[in-house]
Structure 1
Amino acid sequence: MFKAILIEKQDKGQQVAIQTLDDSQLPEGDVTVRVECSTLNYKDALAITGKGPVVRQFPMVPGIDLAGTVEESSSAEFKAGDSVLLNGWGVGEAHWGGLAEKARLKSDWLIPLPAAFSARQAMAIGTAGYTAMLAVMALERQGVVPDRGDVLVTGANGGVGSYAIALLSRLGYRVIAATGRPQEAAYLRELGAQEILDRSELSEPGRPLGKERWAGAIDSVGSHTLANVLASTQYGGTVAACGLAQGMDLPATVAPFILRGVTLAGIDSVMKPRVERIEAWRRLGELLDPAQLDAITQTVGLDEAIDKAGELLKGQVRGRVVVSMQ
């Protein structure tokens, strides 16, 4: 028996509650994991609150991230006692996820837990930090190096934004943080931001081209914000897009692309091949100070996660939320 957050479909929406389930109810997979920690991402919050079409089949255990210990395995890749990590692969959407004391998964979805991190630290990073690392790597591949100019991070107070700032700063970039919570300026500067920008400067309809302000950007907001970020990117710059907090639309023109040679790099963390996942986590182990993770992380129990998901969607959560099963 194990406890899990279970989302069930009802005629007038969905019901979400912590339930005690039997191991026989676990979905198919060749590895069973005793989950130590999971986390709350924006996607998890949408699934739990029902405010976004995240869940693709019911009933569903949400949670797109997990870290824990292999309990049983019929895969040659892993054995009982191995510490493992999972991000994405449709887990928490089409396959039962990590907001539970147990998970049964496909071995292809798992990677070894990096030696640099404990399970809690890995979940403090989670998909948010992993996605931020993928975005930084995309900027690097396009030649956006520190001496090219500033890098903008939108949604700076969120999980992806927080880690993007910390990683970029560690690599020597001058970071501009765009936020709707100016009262958090000290927190953002502590992470490494050197300039704070009010998100209102970017969130409304703007001009096709603006003043060239940054060599690169990591955007987790989308919509008008992404359009304005593109419009103010320097010649030959790159914007890594990895989120849609403001919306899925992109009310932009082709002007930044054909007049300034700007590159828009899409960042997908869900289906990323294993070799690239392992490299991203290796880089995270090199760049992040495990002690710094505490500054951007709060830990809650499974019984607190449902309420915390609502707070996250309301923009009331700073940084990362780890959900501990202990």
Structure 2
Amino acid sequence: MKSNIEIQRVEKSNIENVDFNNLPFGSVYSDHMLECDFVNGEWQTAVIKPYAPISLDPSAKIFHYGQSIFEGMKAYKDADGNTMLFRPLDNCKRLNKSAERLVIPQIPEDIFMDGLKKLLEIDNNWIPTNEGSSLYIRPFMFASGLGFHASPADEYKFIICTAPSGAYFAGKVKVLIEEKYARAANGGVGFAKAGGNYAAQFYPTQLAIQKGYNQVIWTDDNSHEYIEEAGAMNIFIRIGNTLITSPTNDRILDGITRKSIIQIAQDSGIDVEVRKITVSEVISAAQNGNLKEMFGAGTAAVISPIAGFGYQGKDYDLPELENPFATTLKKAITDIQTNKAEDPYGWRVMV
């Protein structure tokens, strides 16, 4: 059964003021957004309305206790103009997993999916068609209820905004393996896409940037012996011809791109190991020439190759390969996303 969605269209589109040949990532916004309020213990009718600022009371609990979660998604158009999403139900499920951990009411799947599809239908002309471009989608939920007392809010907002975005040209990055700070801890909210996780990353990342690096490789909070994530992305490490990634836990996000890479790599005959990997193992592999690749995986860049890393005052460069796994896997995923290849997994959802 379709959700009941109220539609309020803009009087005049802003699309004519946008240069689709020169799109930054995530900072140009489409005409409309979806908004749905949780009031009196239930979700209200969703509204698609003109993109505009949100008005909140200063005592709204989002400002004081940080009940805020989000997702990152993309919509694509193929050569025939069809609109597609990539594994959207996984995003909905993960948002609700984050919601449960932060005591935010879970969003019904029909509001999420029907609202998103209707929003894409209304702003369909905002979905870029240039190679490498996409419509970035940001669903998020936060506490709008009032009060300075430290307790969960009684009212919340669910919003979806979209941003036509060009290719995420991160290039190859140089990273620093973190020895002091931790992204998350056992029993914490590292597995959730909570806004506070990212806020806490900024300071150690800035320290790494001051040392000449682009990002931080996070290690476990207890011993700092195990590799966990790359900045705001999951991490993959290739030693010899084996691709290794850390298992998900309380500290590591269950990335949708990560899961897709594992599946495609295994089906392509690549040896994949989902296991803990120590910093010392990576250092040893770098020293003996067996460390072939390291790359981050996430929605924005899909795959972001790592050119080198620093640890305990020493830098290690990764080799330039003729046919790296990173390039092959990125092409395989993006070809499925943009309908250039068959989708044997049922990941692609036509809108």
State TM-score, norm by structure 2: 0.32
TM-score (norm 1): 0.34
Rg (Cα) greater in structure: 2
